[in-house]
Amino acid sequence: MHQFSLEGSPFIELNNLLKVVGVCDSGGRANTIITCGDVKVDGQVELRKRCKIREGQLVKLGDVVIEVVE
């Protein structure tokens, strides 16, 4: 499990989160993975690339789980 800190920001866009955490090597790759329906946010498939991810949400891609903290 990875933890990502928002560090004072109210949210991070889903595609940027996957890139920043290192799950995807580029924003384009993150967009492709999201569009294919491989990413879940709080247990639901998320197809919006720029979905705003906020504190307390869990993002899952395969075996990788990202917990977003303040």
Q: Which domains does the chain have, with CATH numbers?
A: 2-69 (3.10.290.10)
* pLDDT of the chain, 70 residues: tens digit per residue: 899 999 889 999 999 999 999 999 999 999 999 999 999 999 999 999 999 999 999 999 999 999 999 8
Record the pTM.
Answer: 0.93
Residue whose tokens read 């866009």: 13
Residue whose tokens read 């933890």: 3
Per-residue tokens: 69: 């903290």
